[in-house]
A = this chain, B = another copy of it.
């Protein structure tokens, strides 16, 4: 039977999983809004980010409160501190989905994505969905193997990100500067979204093994 501390921590973990679902849904809808120039959908993502931010502050408050009341010792303390970090990563992921939705809204009624890059952006959206789903599953299961799989998805994301730049720098790029700016920014948002999901998984590995994978806490590639 679990004690009060572990009951409360399990409830916080449930909330982290709920927040993961919210930021997954936000990025899925932002991707559709971007590709289909769907203003209403873009605005729904922008509005929904307030819910993510509220949940963020609530989880943070509950976690801090748990630390103060229960004074957890070493291993348990590590669990709690890790929760605080995961919730920051998730909050940023919500912001990045919001940024994608903002690009969709700004370019409405046009789509920000030229036909030549639709397939690549769609795939970036799909990889983002795979990664965030796995991050959610890692939070719930603490399965180190799934956490390792995320890194492969992240490699795919980086490769797609490079494809964007290849298209932008092709001498036949015919969509002008504004589209190039939007694609550059969106590429960066998807890539960072994936990085934060990997960071969530790394924190779980750290909890389970006591060792952080050999990367900074919020890894960031810079692939141009």
Check A68–B64 contact: CB distance below 8 A.
no
**Cβ-closest chain B residue relative to A74:** B68
Check: A153 CB closer than 8 A to any chain B CB: no
Check: A92 CB closer than 8 A to any chain B CB: yes
A222 CA / B99 CA spacing, docked (Å): 7
15 CB-based A-B contacts, threshold 8 Å: A64-B77, A64-B81, A67-B77, A67-B81, A71-B73, A84-B84, A88-B88, A91-B218, A165-B181, A168-B177, A169-B178, A173-B177, A177-B177, A184-B185, A185-B188
Q: How many residues of A contact B (CB 8 A)?
A: 41
Shortest CB–CB separation between residue A178 and chain B, in angstroms? 6
Residues of B within 8 Å of A98, CB to CB, are: 222
* Given known A216-B91, A218-B92, contact A224–B77 (CB-CB < 8 A): no
A118 CA / B218 CA spacing, docked (Å): 31
Check: A31 CB closer than 8 A to any chain B CB: no
Q: Residues of A at under 8 Å CB distance from B?
A: 53, 56, 60, 64, 67-68, 71, 73-74, 77-78, 81, 84-85, 88, 91-92, 95, 98-99, 102-103, 106, 165, 168-169, 173, 177-178, 180-182, 184-185, 188, 216-218, 220, 222, 224
Residues of B within 8 Å of A184, CB to CB, are: 180-181, 184-185
Residues of B within 8 Å of A182, CB to CB, are: 224
Residues of B within 8 Å of A216, CB to CB, are: 53, 56, 91, 95
Shortest CB–CB separation between residue A104 and chain B, in angstroms? 12
Check B217–A91 contact: CB distance below 8 A.
yes
Residues of B within 8 Å of A64, CB to CB, are: 77-78, 81
A224 CA / B99 CA spacing, docked (Å): 10
**Cβ-closest chain B residue relative to A95:** B220
